[in-house]
Structure 1
């Protein structure tokens, strides 16, 4: 099942109906329009679009909402603290757009370095992909590839002010749940799955 965040609400695409959601059977692109109308203009929290050929629907969705690709890092230091940024008043993880002909791995490391003014990063394993939709004259699907990283340096991170980053800091696991009260839905879920539920 594909999971796309729309602000803090949820749009999913799958083969069958799901309990607890407003279920819409996919017919044409107007199904997507109906889903977004419900998400943006009502109090409905979860819209689910279903069809036996869910991958075909996913392809059509990417024609409806233009994909924009980014990459970012889940960065841990030698003290087992994690790197978070605060941008536009919300806690986030460092990430940014993938440049032309750039790999997701290179983009993730570059963006962490630029946004947090640190280097000496060791790229780890792939973590997850997150999806969210935003509207700017048309719908865009933000596709973010996340990678685990280790930081072995000692320099104090600094926020990249021109990217509207206000704070960059390290946080221990026990401090992170408080941050998650003021963040995005996709970051909350990513953090839960990749940091808080991680036994390492």
Structure 2
């Protein structure tokens, strides 16, 4: 299954007939891609299932409609197992950003977390999740973000990257994290759920 968000509204590409909610289902081979995207963008649909008979091939076909922009980021834990959050554009988020030319996803993930949060001593623990998010800027783009679980024992003051619109950087305990996720993106909730599932 692949889940792609358009403004927090999901496109669920799946070969399963089981549904978690009442989104309409379309056969992947019959869809008109631009129509589906417009309906989601305009909030005419709260979500959509695209039923596939060949998931990997259909996923590759889906990607041909989009310019894919690779990005990487981290869910960072301190020694108290608190989660590092950034506050940007009125929403709690996790640090992430685009890959630079020739950069590996691991290097990009560490660099972006360091730049956005002013944190160091980062250790990569394991890959967590890859999330997909469609946005509109000179055409339709798909941000494909590779997330990693990281730890840091850095004790100094964290510095938000103001020029990137980040106004706060803070570690949150579990109760504060659950509260922050109420004002976050669906992709960030997916990353956190993946971390909690172990």
Q: Aligned with 1:64: secondary structure?
A: coil
- Which secondary structure state, in structure 2, belongs to the residue aligned with residue 118 of structure 1? coil
In 1, the alpha carbon distance for the partners of 2:58 and 2:35 equals 15
Greater alpha carbon shift after TM alignment, 111-120 vs 183-192: 183-192
The residue aligned with 1:24 is: 26
Give the TM-score of the pair, scaled to structure 2.
0.92
CA distance in 2, matches of 1:39, 1:18: 21
Distance 1:16 1:77 in 2: 38
1:1-200 equivalences under 5 Å are 1-19=1-19, 20-27=22-29, 31-195=32-196, 197-198=197-198
TM-score, structure 1 as length reference? 0.92
Q: Is the 8 A contact 1:85 1:92 kept in 2?
A: yes
- Could you tell me how far 1:128 is from its partner in structure 2? 0.9
Give the secondary structure class of the aligned counterpart of 1:101. coil
Gaps of 5+ in 1: none
Whether contact under 8 Å (2:72, 2:105) holds in the other structure is yes
Contact 1:159 1:166 in 2 (8 A): yes
The gaps in structure 2 that reach 5 residues or longer are none
Cα deviation digits, residues 155-185 of structure 1 (max 9, x gap): 1211001110010001001111111111111
Query: RMSD over aligned Cα, in angstroms?
Result: 1.6
Q: Deviations over 1:124-144 (max 9, x none)?
A: 111111111111131111100
Measured after TM superposition, the shift of residue 26 of structure 1 is: 2.3
The answer (yes or no) to whether the contact 1:133–1:140 under 8 Å persists in 2 is yes
